[in-house]
Amino acid sequence: MQLSFIDWIVIALYFIFNLGVGLYLRKRATQSVSDFFVSGRNVTWWLAGTSMVATTFAADTPLVVSGLVAKNGIAGNWIWWSMVFSGILTVFFYAKLWRRAGVLTDCEFAEIRYSGKPAAFLRIFRAIYLGLPINLIIMGWVNLAIVKIMMLVLGINKIEALGIAIAIMFITASISTLSGLWGVLWTDLFQFVLKMGMVILLAVFAVNATGGMSSLISQLHAIDKARDPSSSILAMVPNLNSTWMPMITFFVFIAVNWWASWYPGAEPGGGGYIAQRIFSAKNEKHSLLATLWFNVAHYALRPWPWIIVALVAVVRLQHDASFLADPETGYIRILVSDLPAYLRGLMIAAFAAAYMSTIGTQLNWGASYLVNDVYRRLVPKKVEKHYVNFSQAITMVLMILSAIVTFYMDSIADAWRFLMAIGAGTGLVYILRWFWWRINAWSEISAMIAAFVVSLVLQFGFHFDENDPKQFAYLLLITVAFTTTVWLIVTYLTDSEPKEKLLSFYRRVRPNSTMWGPIAKEASDITPSKDGILNLINWISGVAMIYCFLFGLGQIILGSLPLGILFLIGGFVFGGIIFYQMNKRGWEVLSN
């Protein structure tokens, strides 16, 4: 794809604007570590929530969706659609608790919930584990996406494309080092509007170039007949007799994976950069609304422009050997062929925005762990400016290391599955640590070690293949069962946390008192929280609302107007239940 002089001007203006935002917010963000990493805890819900959405809309996401749809149809997206259960759980059970905790990172949670050397070890271990290897894997696949894009768009090789990615990452790191989370939040807002606008336009142009939606659907039906008449590319629920999503695998996604596995952006009980945005919110109400808006936009509103382009790629590139070898590139191939010349500069800027919004967050988030949870403990009692300067240096180091990881990475979807596998089994302890007083630091430590070891033994010792649907399902089930057994045994074989620490945590966070029996009785100055039923109703309603909106929009786009409207009505009904419940019993408390 040839870029004109005007295209390069548009791209340059995009980068200049982002740098300008960083410079403008520099003073506001560098007064303290709190300002740098959580924006002084003064962010409105719509800004924090949109930043969450922008962060998860990386350059890799349209490519992964294209690959999933090409291989398994629309229903292939259940690999991440199933995480709705976890996302809405965070909204109603955990957002307010994270905000009350008042921590700077979710790793810091360890030392307000647990005590002594085990708590200190857990905090430092999680910070290094998540801030370095896990964060570098995530940044590696995000980098890989922009590398693939540049290779196809500009016709260059991987080394040259990686050089461009490093240049863009350097600009992103500069913004992050200049203005911290404030810069990330405001550039995220601008970037989200730009990239959503461009992917919607691309979907429109791609469908028109294929003869319209009815023609696209007819051609997809013809492909279904040639491939497998028993299943449909357009089906939103998988055929449970299929080889790619048998009953056991679908069961694992719907009933186990979402609560049992740690995965960035959908951590059971919240965590990572989602928790970071929650910490930055003005109050508990803003933290809940931010997380709710994120889940609605992330799962229900955003996927369909990607899916439509992916379907176009299936029709137009079904005989293309390069596409069949790497279906993740289908999105870019349609972009190159169908996007009008006058929009190419804006589309490149949009992909740069998708890339920058995620990389900017990962750099800031990873640096927050390494500085606040590791370096600050090793080098205490320095002035705030010292820690801010070190944060800026660590941000640049993470940038360089992620480029090295990218060079050795080949598949984005494979990296997704690998992270799910090594995090399997840890989710339940993250969910229960807020609500069950008996859990201690050794519970978390044993869960993390057991999940990591068992997963690697199964994959490399017993040769379980995470890319094989059935083997992936059994890998998760075995890892979850073993890990859960290990951490429960460890919990009962070790002492509970000291009563003083448990009382301090209970008073600070005020969780539901049901499983805090002996501690809740002693904390007579705290009114027991009995919001379990309200949260459960809102969780069920929230999950139903998201799926109704997701399927409703899909049915309308694919031509089933009456069914689509019925789904949308259902979504609004469930949304109404949530807001009725919150207006009746919740908003006033959360606003305090």
Work out the pLDDT band at 390, boundaries 50, 70, 90: confident
Output 110-114 pairs: Cβ under 8 A, ≥24 positions apart.
110/441, 110/444, 112/504, 112/505, 112/508, 113/433, 113/497, 113/501, 113/505, 114/440, 114/441, 114/444, 114/497, 114/501
Q: Which position has the higher pLDDT, 196 or 5?
A: 196
440: CB partners within 8 A, 6+ apart = 114, 118, 491, 494, 495, 496, 497
- If one counts every other C-beta atom within 10 angstroms of the C-beta of residue 457, the result is 14
pLDDT for 430 equals 92
- Residue 23 CA to residue 186 CA, distance in Å, equals 12
200 pLDDT higher than 90 = yes
503 pLDDT higher than 60 = yes
pTM over cut 0.95? no
Work out the pLDDT band at 210, boundaries 50, 70, 90: very high
pLDDT for 273 equals 81
CB 269 within 8 A of CB 509: no
Which residue type sits at 300? A
Q: In terms of C-beta density within 10 A (0-12 exposed, 13-18 middle, 19 or more buried), how is residue 45 classed? A: buried
pLDDT for 188 equals 84
pLDDT for 586 equals 64
Which residue type sits at 494? T
413 pLDDT higher than 60 = no
Span between the terminal Cα atoms of the chain, in Å: 55
Work out the pLDDT band at 96, boundaries 50, 70, 90: very high
Task: Tell me what the mean pLDDT of segment 139-165 comes to.
Answer: 82
Q: Which position has the higher pLDDT, 416 or 396?
A: 396
CB 519 within 8 A of CB 502: yes
Residue 426: both structure tokens together: 């840890």
CB 249 within 8 A of CB 240: no
pLDDT for 297 equals 94
Task: Tell me what the mean pLDDT of segment 384-401 comes to.
Answer: 82
116 pLDDT higher than 60 = yes
142 pLDDT higher than 90 = no
- The model's pLDDT over 178-193, given as tens digits with 9 standing for 90+, comes to 777 778 788 888 888 9
- The model's pLDDT over 261-289, given as tens digits with 9 standing for 90+, comes to 877 777 888 888 888 889 899 999 999 99
412 pLDDT higher than 60 = no
pLDDT for 112 equals 94
- Residue 182 CA to residue 411 CA, distance in Å, equals 32
pLDDT for 499 equals 94
Nearest to 521 by CA among 536, 503, 501: 503
Percentage of the chain beyond pLDDT 90 is 37
Nearest to 411 by CA among 83, 147, 134: 147
254: CB partners within 8 A, 6+ apart = 78, 82, 85
Q: Which residues pair with 261 in a beta bridge?
A: 424
Q: At what angle do helices 45-56 and 158-209 cross, to 10 degrees?
A: 110
Task: Tell me what the mean pLDDT of segment 383-398 comes to.
Answer: 82
Residue with tokens 């804006």: 346
Which residue type sits at 575? G
DSSP 293-305: HHHIIIIIISHHH
288: CB partners within 8 A, 6+ apart = 45, 91, 92, 95, 96, 590
- The model's pLDDT over 11-47, given as tens digits with 9 standing for 90+, comes to 888 888 888 877 777 776 566 667 777 777 889 999 9
pLDDT for 420 equals 64
DSSP 313-373: HHHHTTT-HHHHH-GGGHHHHHHHHHS-GGGHHHHHHHHHHHHHHHHHHHHHHHHHIIIII
- Residue 132 CA to residue 138 CA, distance in Å, equals 10
| Whole-number average pLDDT of the chain | 86
557 pLDDT higher than 70 = yes
